Amino acid sequence: MITKPSYDALIIGSGPNGLAAAITIARTGRSVLVLEAKEQIGGGARSAELTLPGFTHDVCSAIHPMGLASPFFRTLPLARYGIEWIQPEFALAHPLDHGQAALVARSLEVTAASLGVDATAYTKLMQPLLDNWESIINAFLGPLRPQTMLHPFKIAHFGLAALRSASGLTQTQFKGAAARAIFAGMSGHSMLPLNTPSSAAAGLMLGLLAHAVGWPIPRGGSHKIVDALAAYLRDLGGEIVTGMEVKSLDTLPPARVILCDITPRQLLRIAGSHLSGLYKRQLQHYRYGPGVFKLDLALDGPIPWSADACRRAGTVHVGGTFNEIARSERAIWRGEHPERPFVLLAQQSLFDETRAPQGKHTVWAYCHVPNGSDVDMSERIEAQIERFAPGFRDRILARHTTNAMEMERYNANYIGGDINGGMQDLTQMFTRPTISPTPYSTPDKSLYICSSSTPPGGGVHGMCGYFAAQAALRHLNQN
């Protein structure tokens, strides 16, 4: 229920970025209203009983290294509002054939030891990053700005390596299959072909975060993150109204600034009359990346991995060797659906007993597909898991599938199933959605975009919302 005739700030969308923007402004004592089209807040950070009663599945985001590393989230009293982070023994396991697996642990030494011949090379690559991880996070989780270069030598090692392709970096750094496979899986989160410049950035960042803060799981489900953000916002005096889809800015209550946790395509639809012709043309050229196919499973026991280490990891990358993963990811950019997809899998119930009935388990898995795909990839995903966990299929009690177009219907920000809010290659990493010193601003000085279509892009970190709110506050302070 809208309680005021007007507001200082109105936020469209209640995902982590929308709530981060709302909190940033509400902390200054200004009035804030958040409008959410769905009946449940959260955007990509929702949880639901998708398969069977008592089985809690994360609908999109599941594992949250950026939730702990986020410079903005670290200023919030989230633990007071119910966030409890669980750290699996291993952040990541990557099964290989013949019952072997490579590992990424919180300990750099333990990780290096699992990589055999590449133990020293991995340590040489990651130790300088770990020594300066906070400077790196502060520099790269945001837009390009003068503060980014306050510590150039601390971030240079990361920046130069991040510009490389994942294939180029692994070929020069590693000799063995284990390290190459681990890096392929982490770089695959970029949703770029692994021979593309800057595809190494995701691998380096995720590896760094694994050692710096871990890859934690929120007890009870990813929705606990947005529930905590919303509770804090309400204590600050902010308001949230659900079930209210915004189809035009002209239908909104009066507000001094409006921040939109939506992508360029939706902004064009609801705010076209407020935007200049040049800006609209720039938004029309914004590029979206591949989609995802999501598979949620209820099991009558844990996945019977051949490699025991996989049973001690929160996340498992299922795709085999570097070349196999590279081939799968490259096929997607040709509009193909790979027979052996790279599967990103989480097994939260091994570490969080609230996710499933006693003795039962959940599986969260997805693979990349061409944008707009309606192909069912569940059989291919299950075959990949069975390859490294014989007998896995016998444990399936129920399935829930979501193809790329169904992902968009679930969350309008996932254009064609793109969960990153737009392609994140070199030309759209910091210049999203347009080339601008303040990419959150629009030609309308009271209108801002605060979604993952702005720097630093996808992930549950709230930084897009925080930086957009800072830009909006500068306008509020001047008027």
Residue 1 banded pLDDT, cuts 50, 70, 90? confident
Report the pLDDT value the prediction gives residue 157, as an integer from 0 to 100: 86
Chain mean pLDDT for the chain:
96
Tens-digit pLDDT profile for residues 63-113: 999 999 999 999 999 999 999 999 999 999 999 999 999 999 999 999 999
| CA atoms of 227 and 54, how far apart (whole Å) | 20
The 10s digit of each residue's pLDDT in 121-175 is 999 999 999 999 999 999 888 887 776 655 676 788 898 999 999 999 999 999 9
Q: What is the DSSP code string of 128-144?
A: HHHHTHHHHHHHHSS--
Q: Please state the rounded mean pLDDT for residues 194-221.
A: 97
Residue 174 phi, psi dihedral angles, 5° rounding: -120, 150
Torsion of CA 207, 212, 213, 215, to 10 degrees: 10
Q: Which two structure tokens, joined as six digits, stand for 175?
A: 């000799």
pLDDT of residue 403: 98
pLDDT tens digits along 314-369 = 999 999 999 999 999 999 999 999 999 999 999 999 999 999 999 999 999 999 99
Contacts of 281 (CB under 8 A, 6+ apart): none
